[in-house]
Structures are given as structure tokens and as C-alpha cells.
Amino acid sequence: MTLFRTLLAGTGWVVALTAIAIAADKPKITSQDQLPRFSYPLKGKVTEIVTNDAAYAPLAAAVRADLEKLLATYEIADRTTLQEILNTLMLLDVHAGKFDSALERLATIRSLEEKPANKYTAGLLVESYMAARRSGDFSSEAAFRAAFQKLYASKLAALPWDIVADNVKQAKAGAEVGSEALILGSLESSVQPGVDKTGTVSGDVAQGLVAQRTVVAHLLPLKAERVAALTAYVAANQKVKADIWAARDVSLGNSPQLTPVVVAIWDSGVDMALFPKQRWTNAGEKAVDGKDDDGNGFIDDVHGIGYDLKSKPTSDLLVPLDEQQKAAYPAMRNRTKGFLDLQSNIDSPEASELKRLLSGLKPDDVKPFIESLNFFGNYTHGTHVAGIAAAGNPAARLMAVRITFDFRMIPDVPTREQAEREAAAARATVAYLKQHGVRVVNMSWGGSPRDIEGAFEANGAGGTPEERRKTAREYFQLFRDAMTQAMADAPEILFVAAAGNSDNDASFAEFVPSGIDLPNILTVGAVDQAGEETSFSSFGKNVDVHANGFEVDSTLPGGERMKYSGTSMASPNVANLAAKLLAVHPGLNVDQVIQLIKLGTDLSPDGRIRAINPKRSFALLEVLRKESKP
């Protein structure tokens, strides 16, 4: 339920991680796959759950019982999973008026949050709501809202701006665009079709539904007051964090001594026309789908390989746009910019237009709007990543490796045939990389077994939740095994993977590729311009280093530039550094490149962050080069 996570993040009450006192003899859950699956009967409209207490109450009671039993029965090793469980229970308590219980859960949550910004902002909105409700017997709802705004503003004012600025800006953006129509439209589009077929919802979806009841009933009505308080706080403290990255940057000149380095961008596709001097070329490669420049059966200037949504080979290294999509691209590009500007508190024409558009969005308009944003987000993603990977390195030779992502709210039903094609495509891709001397691969994408389970449920397919879990595991393992073995068989290639943007443990969630642990893979988390961990970055033992993943400027198809945020942007910053080291010293092996990057990092006082420092890595390279001279 991606939209649920997005909406929760936007409200500012995304809760922190938590831990529960657990008896030593409880069974231990060490991966997401081991969690029990729940299922609940549900007839009629799912929107009734979030708008009507009569429909909500039975599901809420069943979800509460299962979650409390889950906590009592198992030792759950993953803090993020505990966070999600406690978050749901806290919101159930809020709607039931059990404020003491809700506050106890929130206190536990905050006490174990490791990210400083999240520790301060976790549950702030819910806490302010409860404090306002308890502060008096109000004669009118308007009086209550005024009391809430005052309390919320006072709590915001007490926060350390330098630490929480990005979280607060994101909360402000979420408050400005959030609406009941957006929630209901999403549910009708993404959940209702599956419910209509099966008459049930899984535990994951049920938790989202009951949580949204609290949002709709208690938090959305305070939108104006929230926006006013957040706007005032931002205005009073508006200042830009110091940017550490410009001083650390290493830009290679056009020295004839640089050695070309082939860097593969394994992503959603790249507009290769934007990199005429930095693109890898394999002249005369045979066309895979009959397309060629001069009719001789060959594509004369191949710059990589691609696979379509069905994992079948295609010669299009960027998803081709039809005429309608071409016409829509400028507007959708601006809407994307507007959304990013909202998150960054930039008062741009694009941000104003997006707010106007979202405020008038009807439930029936939500599906086409979100799918369009998803499509054009995918369309621009790979080119943006490529621009980061190639920046400041004339020796980089970019190879596009297109993998096609579904943008629809209801994706295709997973099949074994498709899983086998995806596994085969992964093996074939790595073989192609090896054949053509690729040294560095950037992979700013990921998937997990839960994604497959979600696709089954969205289509009302795959049987019971436990049957979906089993089948999803089978299909996922085909791809994971293929990826793991292929990368292990290419020890001469450095694979750089984005950790993920779910604020969770990549290894517990079993993300691929970031959850794979091999000597020739670097997994990258995101920090902001000041080198502080972002609220969204995934973490865990597999995350090796961190790089700038906040408002990173790069190019889009067609040549315009825009700032994107995510571990997707942090990863190519590390790939960029690796390629520069190899351009200067092509004799480095993968282990040496990794060590130069790791040893050059700055370790945060709490040990969570290893922020790359390209200048320091190059200084270490000079030491290595001097030591290696006879």
C-alpha cells in the first residue's frame, strides 16, 4: 500500500521505531517472510471503513486483537515492523479515545528511534491533537481547532530547526495536498477491485484501512490549522543547511591520461542522446526486435540493452511515448517539479498549480492522476540517475540497461512464467555487462516478496494470504537466486545499489538487490546536503556507505534539469566516485575500489552514517599509487 505510506509520511505523525520487552523463549522472526499473515472478511465498499464507524468497528477490533497477540507471541527482530504495529495500535487508541494508552505507545516509540529528526517529530501531530482534546470542554469545533493550532505551533517551536527542517517541510507538503478525496479515490482504485473478487482483505491492507479512519475522522479536519502552524514555523526558521558536497567533489578534467570506464545504468531507461560524448557504443550489434537505422538488420550504434514490462528484449533504451504521452509530458514534468517543490517548501508556480489541482481532485480522478505521475516518474528516473553517475567524468562511458516498471495501481497478476523471464533477463543482463567490459553498475531500484503478494491481492488472485505468501516466495526466490548468482559470477564488476526509501531494514525486508550481501556490491543510504540521514532512507547491516540523496540536481529526458530526492540519487553518487577512481587508476580491482570509498568516508558519532568523501578517497588513491610504484 504505497499510497498509505506516502500519506502517513505527509501528515507528520509517521511514528518512530520501537521495541517491546520480549521473553527470551518466544519464537524469533528474523525476516518479513516469517511474519504471520492475517485475513479478514470484508464486503461492500472499502471506503466505508474509513468513513463509517459501524463498518470500521468490527475490522478494527479484529486487527487490534491480532496485532496484540502478535506482539505477545513473537520476538520480532525488525524495529520497523514493530514501528508499524505500534503505529496502528496507537491510531486505534486515538480513535477510541484511549489517549493514555496511545501516549504510552508513543513514548515507547520515541525512546527507541535512532534517526534524530524522526525522534523529535514522531507522533507530534497525534500528540497535539490529544493534548488539545484534553485541554478543555469546547463550546464549538472552531474553538477546539484554535486550541489545537496553538498547541501544535508551540510544540513545533520547541523543535531544533537544524535537525528537523526536512521532516517539517515534508509534513507541510503532505498537509497541503492531503485530502479525503485522495484517500478514497486511492482505495477505490487499488483495493476495491481485489475485495470485490475475494470478499477479504489481508492484514497489511486492513492495518492501512483502520489507520486511515483516524486520519479522516480526526486529522484531515485540522488541515487548515496544521498548514498555518507549519507555515509559520518554517517562515520563522527558514534557512538553508550548509552544503558539504561541493567542497568534497572531485571533477576530472579532459586529461588524455584518463582511461574510459564503462558504467551501466540498470534502470528505467536513459535518454542517451543527452550524453553524446559519454555514451558507450557497440557498433553493428544485431537488432533484437527488427529495428535498425539503415535496414541492414543491425542497429549501428547500440548503447545498451533493454527489456519491456514482460521482460522481453527491446531495442528501445527509453520507454517510447505515444502521441498523447508526448503532449502530456511537459505538464506532468511540471507537476513532478511542483510536488518536489512542495516537499522543499519552494513557493514556485509549479507548486501553486499542483496545490490547486489536488485541492479540486475528485475520487474518480485519483487513479488516472496517480498513474500518470507514476508513469512519468518512471520515464524520467533512469536519465536523472545517469546524469548523476556521469557528472564531472569525461571518461565515463554510459551503457543503458532498461528494466521496465509497472506504473498502474493494479499491476498484472504475477505468474511463474513472468518470474522465470525476469530471472532469465537478470542472468542475460549480467552476461552482457561482462561481455562488454562494464566496471561499475548502478541499480537504483528494488523489489521484495511483499510486492508480489500485494500484486496478487490487488487482483483478487493467489488464494489465501498464506497461499500468496508461499507463491510469492517461490517467484521471488527465482529472481533473487538468479541475481545473486549472476553478480557472484562477475567479481570484476562493482554493483552499486540504492538501499531503498522505506525507512526500514533492507535485509529484513529482503529487498533485491540492496538486500543481497556479496563482496562486489555496495549498498547506499541517503543523507541530505549537510550529511545528515534522511527520514526516508532504509538502513541495516547491508548499508555500506551514504551519499547525497536530497534534492540532487540532474537531467531529464529532453534535457531539462530537475532536483530529485531518494536513495536512487545517492547510489549513482557512489557509482560516480567509483568510476572516477577507475578512470584515474584502471588497474584497481573491485575490492580496492570499495576500500578506497569506505576508508574515505566520514563516520557519524553514533556510527550510523558513513558519508562518502571523494576528495579523501582520491587522496588515499594517491598514496596507493605511490606505494605501488617500483
Helix (H, G, I), strand (E, B) or coil at 204: helix
Domain count, the chain: 2
Helix (H, G, I), strand (E, B) or coil at 262: strand
Could you tell me the CA-to-CA distances from 318 to 321, 329, 404, 554, 556 in Å, in that order? 9, 14, 9, 17, 12
Helices (H), 245-362: 245-248, 323-343, 349-359
Are 168 and 21 in a shared domain? yes
The residue among 237, 272, 290 that closes a domain is 237
Residue listed under C-alpha cell 520480532? 76
Domain range enclosing 475? 257-628
Are 510 and 615 in a shared domain? yes
Are 184 and 306 in a shared domain? no
Are 155 and 268 in a shared domain? no
In angstroms, the CA 621 to CA 625 distance is 6
Nearest in space to 186 (alpha carbons), one of 341, 379, 6, 413: 6
Does residue 610 fall inside a structural domain? yes
The residue among 237, 271, 291 that closes a domain is 237
Strand-pairing partners, residue 494, are 440
Low-confidence stretches of the chain (pLDDT < 50) are 1-24, 292-298
Instruction: Give the CATH number for residue 532.
Output: 3.40.50.200
In angstroms, the CA 6 to CA 488 distance is 35
Does residue 242 fall inside a structural domain? no
Does residue 495 fall inside a structural domain? yes
- The C-alpha cell at 523 is 549498498
Nearest in space to 486 (alpha carbons), one of 431, 420, 404, 417: 431
The residue among 171, 205, 237 that closes a domain is 237
In angstroms, the CA 17 to CA 108 distance is 9
Are 124 and 173 in a shared domain? yes
Region of 145 on the Ramachandran plot (φ > 0 left; ψ -120 to 50 alpha; else beta): alpha
Q: Is 362 exposed, middle or buried (0-12, 13-18, 19+ CB in 10 A)?
A: exposed
| Model pLDDT, residue 295 | 44
* Count of other CB atoms within 10 angstroms of residue 232: 14
| Model pLDDT, residue 296 | 43
Please list, in sequence order, all residues whose beta carbon lies within 8 angstroms of the beta carbon of residue 436, skipping any fewer than 6 positions away. 262, 280, 282, 399
Are 172 and 292 in a shared domain? no
| Model pLDDT, residue 343 | 67
Q: What is the DSSP string of 69-135?
A: HHHHH-EE--HHHHHHHHHHHHHHHHHHT-HHHHHHHHHHHHHT--SHHHHHHTTHHHHHHHHHHHT
In angstroms, the CA 529 to CA 327 distance is 35
Phi, psi for residue 400 in degrees, rounded to 5? -85, 130
Does residue 251 fall inside a structural domain? no
Are 279 and 365 in a shared domain? yes
Does residue 244 fall inside a structural domain? no
Q: What is the pLDDT of residues 4-39, one digit of tens each?
A: 222 222 323 222 222 333 344 789 999 888 999 999
* Count of other CB atoms within 10 angstroms of residue 467: 13
Are 594 and 485 in a shared domain? yes
Does residue 180 fall inside a structural domain? yes
Does residue 339 fall inside a structural domain? yes
Are 197 and 333 in a shared domain? no
Are 414 and 343 in a shared domain? yes
Residue listed under C-alpha cell 542472468? 427
Peptide bond into 513 cis (omega under 30): yes
In angstroms, the CA 377 to CA 107 distance is 37
| Model pLDDT, residue 323 | 96
In angstroms, the CA 172 to CA 64 distance is 30
Does residue 355 fall inside a structural domain? yes
Region of 4 on the Ramachandran plot (φ > 0 left; ψ -120 to 50 alpha; else beta): alpha
- The C-alpha cell at 382 is 533512469
Are 264 and 205 in a shared domain? no
N-to-C CA span, the chain: 59
Are 612 and 476 in a shared domain? yes
In angstroms, the CA 381 to CA 542 distance is 24
CA angle 339, 405, 283 (to 5 degrees): 110
Please list, in sequence order, all residues whose beta carbon lies within 8 angstroms of the beta carbon of residue 564, skipping any fewer than 6 positions away. 340, 381, 384, 551, 552, 554
- The C-alpha cell at 143 is 474553538
